[in-house]
Chain A
Amino acid sequence: MRVGVITFPGSNCDYDLYKAAQQIGANVEFIWHRQKNLDGYDAVMLPGGFSYGDYLRAGAIAQISPVMEEVSRFAANGGPVLGICNGFQILCEAGLLPGALVRNASLHFESKDIHVLVEQTDTLFTNKYENGQILRIPIAHAEGNYEANEQLLEELEDDGRVVFRYVSSDGELSKEANPNGSRNNIAGLTNKSGNVLGMMPHPERAMEDILGSVDGVGVFLSLATNLSTAGI
């Protein structure tokens, strides 16, 4: 499996993502944001960080980076795209995922471990998890408050596109367990065809016991297994 990790000016989780993909046996390469060709890659990942200093809005400038046109094409052809944190923000700004991520309701930068419920296990990125499994994964963001209008929320829920939802450690869906004010406690969602996943929590920071949690491994392992089953 050949994975491309895109580096934008201001990305700072690109090495973590590189290492996470490498850990599950992928051939990983960094892709500079000016690159205009994604031929030969089996999956593309957009890392966390502060691309373009979050100027204008988080992800707003990065969405017009030259590589993003290629990412859109790659996604339209069914290629798996994973956006984490700032990567999720960029995917929303680029229109590859619906809705927007706005300032946390707390107004604070939230950096801590949180819990998410795995709601969908029939996706490219989550089928190594158990349905209803609770993961402990870190978050680190100031703009992770998922915003969408009622119609879109209904559509996301009806289509089962909410993959991860913030819950308490015992799985309770509550306001207290929601670290940023996201609508419906949404922590991660896919596009309609399911090949693009955006999530605010950082699975690439929960890959080894020494990091305090290995709950993020499933995201990368699911993707690797699915691609290998497909003969890639």
Chain B
Amino acid sequence: MEILVKPRPGLLDPQGKAIHHALRSLGWTDTQDVSVGKVIYIDLEAEDGDSALEIVQLMCRKILANPVTEDFEVSIVKNNERIIA
């Protein structure tokens, strides 16, 4: 499972802001915005794709993402192939 945890749009993302500044000072002045999230990989045994998604979404709501500041996207990766949820 691949979980993308992203800062909620509109919230201050200081890391993104710093990288944005760095990119612009390197000459990429067309860069409009940068935000930084994280990727979490989980090896999970589940009956099928749907139940795997359900389990991981629960993990996200419970601990992996903070509902105040972050959004998340879950995808299933099998044999190096990603099935977008």
Q: Which residues of A contact B (CB under 8 A)?
A: 56-57, 60-61, 63-64, 92-93, 98-100, 102-107, 145, 147-149, 181
CB closest residue in chain A, given B15: A103
- Residue pairs across A and B with Cβ atoms less than 8 A apart, 9 shown, are A60-B63, A61-B63, A64-B63, A104-B14, A105-B12, A106-B14, A107-B18, A147-B11, A147-B12
Min CB distance B14 to A, Å, is 5
A147 to B64, CA, bound (A): 18
A100 to B11, CA, bound (A): 12
A135 to B24, CA, bound (A): 41
Min CB distance B21 to A, Å, is 10
Interface residue tally of chain B, by bracket? Answer: 10 to 19
Counting CB contacts under 8 A, is B51 at the interface?
no
Besides A102-B11, A102-B12, A107-B15, 14 more A-B contacts (Cβ < 8 Å) are: A56-B64, A60-B66, A98-B68, A99-B68, A100-B68, A100-B69, A102-B14, A104-B14, A105-B12, A105-B14, A147-B11, A147-B69, A148-B68, A149-B68
CB closest residue in chain B, given A108: B14
Which residues on the B side are within 8 Å of A99 (C-beta)? 68
Q: Known: A107-B18, A181-B12. Contact between A102 and B63, CB under 8 A?
A: no
